[in-house]
Structure formats: structure tokens, C-alpha cells
Structure 1
Amino acid sequence: MTPDLVEYPDREMLTISLANRIASQLAQHLRTNDQAVLCVPGGSTPAPVFRTLSGADLDWSRVTVLLNDERWVDRDSPRSNSALLARNLFQGPAAAAQYLDLYTGAPTPADAAPALAEQVSAVLPITVLLLGMGNDMHTASLFPRAEGLAEALSHDAPAVMAMTGGDEAEPRVTLTLPALKSALWTHVMITGTDKREALERAADFDPQAAPIRAFLDDATVHWAE
């Protein structure tokens, strides 16, 4: 078990507390900096956090938002993480945020990755990073023993790489270890017994087998059943 694990009595308390902490850290950064960067996961688990965070009293026009990773699908696809952000985060005050879209419409992720790496590098470091984790201990689109994972987890990796993996094995782009590790504050959000057990297993694994392990030493993990 990671020592930086915060347990909540229910998911509603997790949602409220985590959204408030993210908003507070962004506000703290903006008091002494012109810009802040928020990097978030896709998927349904963090959607309630996004909805709560969207109403935060921040100067959102000075916040750049980007995803940890994105599936190579059009915005109108139900698989699009960008579409999920549009529905849940970019509402109310947060609609004023700047969005760095990882999906460019290029034929393949590999075609787009070099230019995306330059764009992401230009906004680094990340101010607040929120990560999720799958039952297989992947995070972002860094999947256990995936082709290219060793390069993506190297300290000299480009900021963005094309990757495949997961049950769908669909093409994706992902931020890599050096980009994600640039964050000033890192949070991992997980729910349910299965993911709690996976997290505990990951603590004893190599990042090649459990990519989330590469980020746990710097992270606060937020968990509710």
C-alpha cells in the first residue's frame, strides 16, 4: 500500500474533496504565475470530478487543459476523451479554459505524434496531474509490456508518443513519463476493491509490468469503494 493513500467514505466525498484540492492547487499556482496546466484522464471514473471542478472560481482563461492520452477517434465518437471533457469539464466557468487537443485528425497517431510532442513540450511543466489506473495497472495509454513502453517510460522520451494496448488495442497517443513526471502535484483517482488491490500489487512491480508504479512515489492516491 502506498503511504500517500487517502480513503474516503464514499465516492461523493472523494469527488468533492479531490475537485477542491485540484482547484486550490491551480489557484495557488496562478497567484505567482501567468499560466497553469491541468492534465487529466479520460474515462467515466473522473467525470464527476470534472463536473464539480467546472464550477470552480478560477481565472480559467489562464489554465491550459490537456488529456493524459487520447484514442485516435473523431470527436463525435463515444470513445473520444475530448468529447467527455466537453460534456463534463468545459461547462460554466471552466469553458474559458484553453484546450490542447491531442486528436488532430491526422491519418494515424504516429503521423501526429512529433508535432504534438512539440506542442505539449511548449506548455510544460504540468501544474496539476490527475491520473487514473486500470485493473491491469496501466495509466494514461501506458499499458503493461506494450510495444514501445520502454521508450515511453525512458527519461529522454518525446513528450507524446503513439501507442496501442488495452482490450480494444485501438491506436492512441499518450503523454510519456518525462511529460507526466514534470507535474508539480500528482493525484491518482481509483474506485472499487479491484483497483485498490491492483494498486497494492503495483507497489511491488516494475513499471514495465505495472506502469502506474512509475508515478506512485510522487502521487497522492484518492480511493473510495
Structure 2
Amino acid sequence: MELIEYPDRDLLSLGLADRLTADLAEALRLNERASFSVPGGTTPGPVFDLLSEQALDWDRVSVVLNDERWVPEDSPRSNTGLLRKRLLVSKASAATLIPLYAPAAQPEDKIAELAEGLVPHLPLSVVLLGMGADMHTASLFPGADNLEAALAEDAPPLMAMRAEGAGEPRITLTAPVLKGALSLHILITGAEKRAALERAQHLSATQAPVRAVLGQAVVHWAE
């Protein structure tokens, strides 16, 4: 794990956006297309705002969320809806979105179809993850129903996940897909998450799911 500390969150957003832009540009230099996986939530919003203005060949970039709540896109809880407002705008509007939601009662009803859309874009070129104070990342939550299966080396690319702290059922990229990325970054802010990161380094991936990806991650932190 590499840890980069920034003086404040504005500089974190600028530095991380520059790093992600460089990683995507390198992936596009080496390959016809690049795949970019990003978190939901509000924390990465300022980074997305900066990224969306970068002069990349966005028409050669496919974007997929790390995970999605099983809610329609017009729900205020939808990560996809947030992504369309913050990242897939301006220059980045030319990117292709790989969906992690399709109308159905449960994620299991559509997971095979969604996985089929994802697999051609693997391995992922660049991954940006977040982390919760409970040390979850993507929808790999401590105590989740399918956590051990999603951490396994032979896990399928996508799995449904339910956990006490997750709210709705989720669909998530699994640990092998995240670890298989050519470039892996984690964005965290605040003292609570910094302390959680320190704890995670001494726990198992079952106890602290983010531990599964820390070995090859660059962590970006500001108070």
C-alpha cells in the first residue's frame, strides 16, 4: 500500500484527478480502449467534476461503478444517477456507461445479463474505490451474506450482496475483479476513515473487506 497525504481536500481532488487522468491516458496509449471503475456516494464528486473536463479520448473509455444499490436510476439513492450528473458530463459525456442495474425485483434476476456486459471490459484499466468507516469497499460489507464468496479468488465478476449496513440489496464487483485492475486507487477523507484504514491493515479481509485490495492500492487521504 502507498499512502499519499494531502494538505486539504481541494488539493486531494486536484492531485487524484491528475493521477487518474494520467493512468487512463497511459491505458489508452497501450490499448484501443480503457475501462474505469468508480465509486458512488458524494465524496468523489469533486474529483469527478475535474475529471469530466479532462481532454482524454473519452469515446474510448468504458465506465462502470464499483457497486450499485438495487434502485431505479431516478431514485436519489442511485449511484448511476449521481454518476450521470457528476462524471458523465462535459468532455466525459462521450464515455460508455456499463450498467449495474436493470429493472427487476432482485439483483439475482439480472446479474447474469449485467455480468455479460461487463466481462468484455475486463481486466479493468483503472479503479477508484472508496471506503466506509466500517472498512467496507464497493459493496463488500463486513458480515454481508455473500462476502466470503465475493472475496474468493474464483468469485464471478459480479455478485448480489445484502448486509445490515447496506440498506437496499446491492450488486458489486468482486474482489478478484477489483484486484485485477492495472491501476488501483482508494479515496478517503477525515480522521475516522484514516483510523479505520490503520485498523484494516491488521485484520483479515473478512473482518475488513478493504484489506483484500490494500496490497496494490494507492490511498489518497486528506483531513
What range is the shorter-chain TM-score in?
A: over 0.9
Structure 2: which amino acid aligns with 1:109? P
CA contact (8 A) 1:152 1:177 kept: yes
1:92 aligns to 2:84 (yes or no): no
1:127 aligns to 2:121 (yes or no): no
For 2:37, the equivalent position in structure 1 comes to 39
The runs of at least 4 consecutive aligned structure 1 residues that moved more than 6 Å come to none
* Aligned pairs for 1:107-146 within 5 A: 107-146=105-144
Matches of 1:203 and 1:166 in 2, distance apart? 23
Q: State the secondary structure of the residue aligned to 1:161.
A: strand
Matches of 1:169 and 1:79 in 2, distance apart? 10
Q: Deviations over 1:141-200 (max 9, x none)?
A: 000121110100001111001101253431110000111111000000000000000000
Matches of 1:45 and 1:107 in 2, distance apart? 29
For 2:64, the equivalent position in structure 1 comes to 66
Aligned sequence identity (%): 54
Q: TM-score, normalised by structure 2?
A: 0.98
For 1:194, the equivalent position in structure 2 comes to 192
Deviation, structure 1 residue 202: 0.2
Matches of 1:120 and 1:169 in 2, distance apart? 24
Among 198, 201, 204, the residue aligned to 2:202: 204
Q: State the secondary structure of the residue aligned to 1:197.
A: helix
Structure 2: which amino acid aligns with 1:134? G
Deviation, structure 1 residue 107: 1.9
Q: State the secondary structure of the residue aligned to 2:27.
A: helix
Unmatched runs of 5 consecutive residues or more in structure 2 = none
Q: Aligned pair in 2 of structure 1 residues 168, 187: CA closer, same or farther (>3 Å)?
A: closer
Q: Deviations over 1:32-53 (max 9, x none)?
A: 2100000000000001100100
Matches of 2:166 and 2:132 in 1, distance apart? 13
> Between Structure 1 and Structure 2, how many residues are aligned?
223
Q: Aligned pair in 2 of structure 1 residues 151, 168: CA closer, same or farther (>3 Å)?
A: closer
Judge which range, 24-33 or 111-120, deviates more: 111-120
Q: Deviations over 1:64-101 (max 9, x none)?
A: 00000000111111100001111100111000000001
CA contact (8 A) 1:23 1:58 kept: yes
For 2:151, the equivalent position in structure 1 comes to 153
For 2:25, the equivalent position in structure 1 comes to 27
Deviation, structure 1 residue 103: 0.7
Matches of 1:157 and 1:28 in 2, distance apart? 28
Structure 2: which amino acid aligns with 1:46? P
For 2:51, the equivalent position in structure 1 comes to 53
Q: State the secondary structure of the residue aligned to 2:63.
A: strand
